[in-house]
Chains A and B, each alone.
Chain A
Amino acid sequence: MTTQLPPGMHIETVDEKIMTLNVGPQHPGSGHMRLIIKVDGDYIVSCDPDPGYVHRGEEKMAEYRNYIQNIPHLERPVIHDSSNILYPYCLGVEELLGIEVPERAKYIRVIAAELNRCIYILYWLAIYGIFLGHSTMFMWPAGDRELFIDLLEAMSGARVTHAYLVPGGVRNDLPSNFEERCLRQVEYFEKRLREYEAIFYQNPLLKARTEGSGILSRTDAIRLGTTGSVLRASGVDFDVRKKEPYDVYENLDFQTIVMKEGDSYARSRIPYLEMFESCRIIKDALKKMPKSGSVRTKLKPNPKGGNDEVYRRVESGRGAIGYYIVSNNRPEPYRVKISVGSFRNLICMPYLLKGEKLGNMPAVYWGLNYWPVEADR
């Protein structure tokens, strides 16, 4: 006897040999999401990512607060990369309200953004290490992250959620002797990074495990709309900092890291190599920065945006973050739409995991540079 199903629903027929695994939301290797994985023996037949467990309605919340009040809650999706997720918002609001940013503030912003990128990538790398069972690679980056957390604490007063970037510049000026302290720590960090190479990236077992797994071709990477390190690992030379330079990035000396392989190893290596470039940017910015001057343009209280809309994007640790802000002559924005790199990289997960072995799942999943909380916003 067949029962009548509600419209739009159907009974799924599966092979007896195929087992469905719910990886998450309570699983040590899932994060705040669920992957519905069907396996045939050790091979993954299909993968269905199910995000949305930490949706907090950041976009809707932004419609009830004025342009300054929006800052603290908009950085909540990625507290490890809070400067970068606020960066496009600040750029967009400055364009809407017609604010000029002081030259020194632009450099300080770039330094804060690059320090924060390093914090994010180190955290990401730590989890990548423990996902592959490499506990030393979990402890080392998690410890070295403190270097940059200390620096940003000295700049902003907070260890994690800095809320340092504001429309019109940065919240406060750098502390005294910041430059030499920053330079010293960055140089020490570069030395540590080379040790990572020896223990992790040149490890024969890691190479054997990640090289050639989860290959994303160049055309697929463009077709699926990936961004950030995933895109660059597939051989596309795209970095918002180079292609659409914002603030003072055009004056600074750095390169875009591109690899052609498109496999898990390349995806894990690109963020690591970008940390060297971040260190270069920080050192260059410290050299070129005006030594004194204002760091924040004063705003009117409760500023109103015109009848206008703006889209600005920056390169974050996970790819391009874009803010589309619409204003309609009110102190609050009419609409704030956030386009994050995490969610766009998630799309290619079913393509990459199909036909892979179950043992490759953590490497492919975390290699996508996916941050569930950011994707859910």
Chain B
Amino acid sequence: MSTIAPQFRLSRFIGSLFDLIFWVILIFSLVGLPIVFIVLFYIKLPVINGQLMTPYLAMTWMADPSRTLPIVKSFMHTTIFRVMAFPGFGFAALLAAATIFVERKFLAKMQLRVGPLYCGKIEGILQLMGDGFKLMSKEIIIPAKADKPIFWLGPLLFVGTAGAFVALIPVAPGWVVANPSVGLLAVFAVIGFFPIIAVLTAWAANSKWTFIGGLRALHQMVAFEIPLILSLLGVVILSGSLNLSQIVQSQEHFWWIAFLPIGAIVFFITILAELERIPFDLPEAESEIVAGWLTEFSGMMYGLIQLGTYLKLYAFAGLFTVLFLGGWNGPMVWPPFPQDIITQGITIGPVTAHFPGLPLFDQEMLNGTLWFVIKTVGVILLILLPRGVFPRVRIDMILHTGWYKLIGLAFINIFIALGLLYAGVLGPGGLLH
């Protein structure tokens, strides 16, 4: 361990927190309160239920959980909450940020380093935030001969496509942003969009390195898309559905990885290639082609690409969980919400409070989310592991693997699935169903 690392002391940490609270209160009472009163002097206050809605009354309402909880609960069933927060972007971004931190510490331990250490005092937990601020403060440089509109569009399209991918992953029963009846086809469509973005941005940047990197990305992704699709057909045959939620429900008793291990392995390898992770990170091979199709990106444009990459990583890991590891299925370990709080309310001394909005989440959803997160994080760690162990492969090796070996294995997997189906073991009306 480094000798110049600051020793973490809880007392100092708490002391700094108290300092912070003191300054917040001081500044708010000296600056904030006068501003609030100046504003209140000018605006016209509304009248609700015959009562003038003064700020004091509004604060009392906000502090009353029996009034706010139903609002929060109804907000949680809106589409905007699903897109922004829970099964959608916010949840995925949080998991992706945690993934980046875990990856860096994990790889550092593997390589006898310490990894991020300073930022955020506790083992560099805020390093990612620091990196984000750094990227935001950097100048965005656009090459003089670049095709500017497409060059600007590239990172946005990348994040958007990754977000669309995230939207299709069901996290808990009923908790999914988009639930089309042919969800798996939608996933294939979204995956097929990534090489187009890579080639577009590579061509728009007008540089030799991005050009070679873009072509490599195109070759690699196209070569691995076919085994990817074929490896998932086994799951479709056995579960009899293209809807991702129904595929999860069909795995209530058995995970498909138990019957289709070859398909799972093929899918896992294609995930590595689609994510451009080591050993398949040829489109970004820095010793050959600088940074491949990302060479000319700087500042927050690069940051957006990174964000998209990690969203994509989460989405692929989630897809693996949904298709092969049984998604949200798992033993019920989450404790039930105490019923007497709902029926009798909470009694504190002489006061008894009733909260009509409780519980905010039902037990099945929390349990499902827990199992989904555990399985997904496990898959993510498996995806990260090769980075510390393998060198990069060559483009001819990767094409040989994709077009020749993986497609063959994927067909074997399909035959296994068909055999299980026609032997009457699995599928609708099968022995084990």
Contacts and interface: CB of A to CB of B under 8 A. Distances in A.
Contacts of B393: 205, 208-209
A357 B391 contact: no
Nearest to B286: A28
Interface string A127-145: 0011111111111100100
Contacts of B279: 133, 205
Contacts of A132: 287, 391-392
B397 interface: yes
Interface string A338-377: 0000000000000000000111111000000000000000
B288 A361 contact: yes
A206 B391 contact: yes
A303 B392 CA distance: 55
Interface residues of A, number: 32
Interface string B382-406: 0000011111111111000000000
B73 interface: no
A29 B391 contact: no
Contact of A42 (B286, B387, B396): B396
Nearest to A213: B394
Contact of B395 (A136, A203, A359): A359
B290 interface: yes
Contact of A133 (B107, B111, B212, B281): B281
Nearest to A42: B395
A19 interface: yes
A131 B287 contact: yes
Nearest to B392: A133
A357 to B, nearest CB: 6
A27 interface: yes
B275 interface: no
Nearest to B400: A208
B156 to A, nearest CB: 27
A199 B112 CA distance: 14
A299 interface: no
B394 A359 contact: yes
A143 B285 CA distance: 24
Contacts of A361: 288
A238 B396 CA distance: 36
Given A19-B208, A42-B396, A357-B395, A136 B285 contact: no
A211 to B, nearest CB: 12
A27 B209 CA distance: 11
Contact of B391 (A19, A42, A203): A203
A139 to B, nearest CB: 4
A213 to B, nearest CB: 9
* Interface size classification for chain B: 20 to 34
Interface in B356-396: 387-396
A54 interface: no
B96 interface: no
A44 to B, nearest CB: 11
B282 interface: yes
A132 B278 CA distance: 11
A29 B388 contact: no
Given A133-B281, A357-B396, A362 B287 contact: yes
A267 to B, nearest CB: 16
A175 B113 CA distance: 30
B287 A29 contact: yes
Given A29-B286, A133-B285, A360 B394 contact: yes
B390 A205 contact: yes
Contacts of A28: 286-287, 290
A215 to B, nearest CB: 16
Contact of A135 (B107, B285, B290): B107
Interface in B30-46: none
A361 to B, nearest CB: 6
B425 interface: no
A171 B373 CA distance: 62
B110 interface: yes
A135 B112 contact: no
Contacts of B208: 19, 21
A272 to B, nearest CB: 15
A356 to B, nearest CB: 10
Given A21-B208, A42-B396, A135 B387 contact: yes
Contacts of B111: 135-136, 138-140
Contacts of B389: 136, 199, 203
A357 B216 CA distance: 13
Nearest to A27: B290
Interface in B184-243: 208, 212
B395 A134 contact: no
A134 B282 CA distance: 13
A268 to B, nearest CB: 11
Nearest to B209: A21
B286 A205 contact: no
A206 B112 CA distance: 22
Interface string A96-110: 000000000000000
11 contacts: A29-B286, A29-B288, A133-B390, A135-B111, A139-B112, A143-B113, A208-B393, A357-B396, A358-B212, A359-B394, A359-B396
The 10 A-B pairs with the shortest beta carbon distances in the complex, nearest first, are A133-B392, A29-B287, A139-B111, A134-B391, A359-B394, A132-B391, A362-B287, A131-B287, A28-B286, A136-B388
